[in-house]
Structure 1
Amino acid sequence: MGSFSVWHWLIVLVIVLVLFGRGKIPELMGDVAKGIKSFKKGMSDDDAPEAPSATTTTTTAKTVDHKPDEVKEPSRF
């Protein structure tokens, strides 16, 4: 019982290579690395505080005067 020997690890490696193929494993690991990098970038973007710009001024909301359209009589068939 204990830890696996070198032969156990070689057999596991051969099985993994047979199942996934030789080129699939590096491609898979590259995709995992890209995912981790994009996750870290997303987390750092959320932590960055927004700096107010010097040209920003306080503005009030503007309203638009609404003029109702002419009331049309419904057409009869």
Structure 2
Amino acid sequence: MLGGISIWQLLIVLGIIILVFGTKKLRNVGTDLGGAVKGFKKAVHEDEKDTDKPDADQPQSKVSHDEAGNTYDVQAEEKAKQKAENNDERK
């Protein structure tokens, strides 16, 4: 079969491995190995996706901000709402 190894010999080796490590430990190793393979495949796929872009070696262009003074501070608005709610609760 596989270089002179029969199915019975493989089953005996598998049985010894299960006795030594236990099924829970083997399940954890299998899960970790599967996650590592999945992460590797994802990284390779993302790398292929990045190399397909024609602008990968080109420097990024500069962005100009023509509208000065039109910023919006979300945190300041949230703080103002909280103050208003606290004032309403106190009344």
TM-score by length of 1: 0.51
Structure 1 residue ranges, 4+ long, deviating more than 6 angstroms after superposition: none
Structure 1 residue 4: deviation in Å? Answer: 4.2
Q: Gaps (5+ residues) in structure 1?
A: 60-77
Q: Superposition pairs for residues 34-45 of structure 1, below 5 Å?
A: 34-45=35-46
CA 1:17–1:57 in structure 2 vs 1: closer, same or farther (change >3 Å)?
A: closer
CA 1:18–1:48 in structure 2 vs 1: closer, same or farther (change >3 Å)?
A: same
Sequence identity percentage: 31
Answer with 1 or 2: which has the greater Rg: 1
Greater relative contact order structure (CA < 8 Å, 6+ sep):
2
Distance across 2 between alignment mates of 1:47 and 1:5: 41
Equivalences, count: 56
1:25-74 per-position Cα deviation (integer Å, ceiling 9, x unaligned): 1111111110011001111111113576xxx7457xxxxxxxxxxxxxxx
